[in-house]
Amino acid sequence: MLLPSLNPQCLPCLSFSHSISLPLPPSFFPNPSKSSHFPSFQINCIDAAQPFDYESHLKTRYIQSTSLKIAIVGFGNFGQFLSKTFLRHHHTLLAHSRTNYADLANQLGVFFYSDPNDLFEQHPDVVLLSTSILSTETLLRKLPFQRLRRNTLFVDVLSVKEFPRNLFLKYLPPDFDILCTHPMFGPESGKTSWTGLPFVYDKVRIGDEESRVKRCDKFLGIFEKEGCRMVEMSCMEHDKYAAGSQFVTHTMGRVLEKFGLESSPINTKGYETLLNLVENTKGDSFDLYYGLFMYNQNSLEQIERLDMAFESIKKDLFGRLHQVYRKQLFGDNGEVKRNTRLPQKLLGDASLIQTPLDNVRKDES
């Protein structure tokens, strides 16, 4: 018996996709391996048309329960750097920046909005400020907070902490949550891994509701899962420590860059470290360095300490050099050495005379 041509309307139970599902009785079809009427009939996958994929469904539900909608305001170099990791953790990313990064954002899988009103109308869970320190206050004054949910979480990743904390408390509505953070690494130092790199944070203002606490923990969980060394401290403590580490590091890197440090055929390990320091710091804008100086009240003290330390080293060097000259001139016992001329003396009329060398020899004899 020949099988009539199959009409989808006649066989509603028969479905075609990447494989074939046949819920009809087996006796309806002859055995394809023993019949010449079905030389090309075969089953590609016996479980491809399952009515419900529980594993995929559970994975989707888990991702939805742990994901956040994060709006990055300031999609420059550092914002792009963070977004790549956020995407790997299945978070939805939105972005806004003064520069049009629409094409780049599209390549990364980020939704770009040139107007902050359109961005905030998407009601993100988290608004992440990744702007320059110098433009932070100007930006905050212009943001349309009224388009956000009343308990939106605001996060910053600036290199100073007291300054953005004070701005958040001044300009944000009182119902908004505030989390001040500082990833102590960047696109160069963190390009291969974040494992062991310090991440500093301060929960300045987080609501008591369980959903708001979990939202904050989800965001911090991104860095924790990446292996960062999580350090919770106040913004004041951060700025004190950062001025003694980050600011000094940037200062020395820029000083050595001005000095003109260059590689040589006989570089030592220590010299290679200095070259790497210059390479890492010169990649950051001067605005960042100026912001570290201008908006961290501890930085001026560090500049003064560096200056005093350099002067102290100069005194040590020239002081020892003076001792060497004295020994060469007078000897170890303080007496004038043989064949050494005495210093010049002034006559009454202020003219200079030179003590004859023969007189020196006669006195010594």
Q: Encode pLDDT of 275-333 as tens digits.
A: 999 998 888 889 989 999 999 999 999 999 999 999 999 999 988 888 887 788 777 66
What amino acid occupies position 277?
L
* Per-residue pLDDT at 53: 65
- Alpha-carbon distance 13 to 132, whole Å? 61
3-state secondary structure of 292: helix
Question: What's the confidence (pLDDT) of residue 241?
Answer: 95
Residue 38: how many other CB atoms lie within 10 Å: 14
d(CA 175, CA 68) in angstroms, rounded, equals 19
**Confidence category of residue 62, pLDDT binned at 50, 70, 90:** low
Average pLDDT, the chain: 83
How far apart are alpha carbons 45 and 18 in whole angstroms? 8
With 50 as the cut, is the pLDDT of residue 16 above it?
Answer: no
Helix (H) or strand (E) holding 222: helix 210-225
CA 9 to chain centre: 59
Is residue 351 over pLDDT 70? no
- Residue 122, pLDDT > 80, answer yes
Which pLDDT score is estimated for 50? 56
Q: What is the pLDDT of residue 15?
A: 45
For the cut 60, the answer to whether the pLDDT of residue 32 exceeds it is: no
Cα 359 to Cα 365: distance, rounded to the nearest angstrom: 10
With vertex at residue 342, the alpha carbon angle to CA 358 and CA 357, rounded to the nearest 5 degrees, is 15
Which stretch of 25-39, 150-164, 252-266 has the lowest confidence by average pLDDT?
25-39
Q: Which long-range contacts (CB under 8 A, 24 or more apart) does 91-97 make?
A: 91/67, 91/222, 92/67, 92/68, 94/69, 94/70, 94/119, 94/122, 94/124, 95/71, 95/119, 96/71, 96/72, 97/73
Helices (H), 1-152: 54-66, 77-88, 102-108, 116-120, 136-142
Cα separation, 360 vs 91, in Å, equals: 89
Q: How confident is the model at residue 44 (pLDDT cuts 50, 70, 90)?
A: low
What is the pLDDT at residue 61? 62
Question: What is the model's pLDDT at position 66?
Answer: 74
- What pLDDT digit, counting tens, does each position of 183-217 carry? 999 998 899 999 999 999 999 999 999 999 999 99
From first CA to last CA, the distance across the chain in angstroms is 141
Q: Please check whether residue 318 is in contact with residue 325, taking contact to mean a CB–CB distance below 8 angstroms.
A: no
Q: Exposed/middle/buried for 92, CB within 10 Å: 0-12, 13-18, 19+?
A: middle
Name the pTM for this structure: 0.70
Residue pointed to by tokens 């023993």: 34
Q: Are 253 and 280 in contact (CB under 8 A)?
A: yes
Predicted local distance difference test score (pLDDT) of residue 331: 72
**What would the mean pLDDT of 226-247 be, rounded to a whole number?**
96
Residue 145 DSSP class: G
| Confidence check: pLDDT of 34 > 80 | no
Check residue 13 and give its pLDDT: 46
Per-residue burial over 151-170, b = 16 or more CB atoms within 10 Å of its CB, e = otherwise: bbbbbbbbbbbbbbbebbee
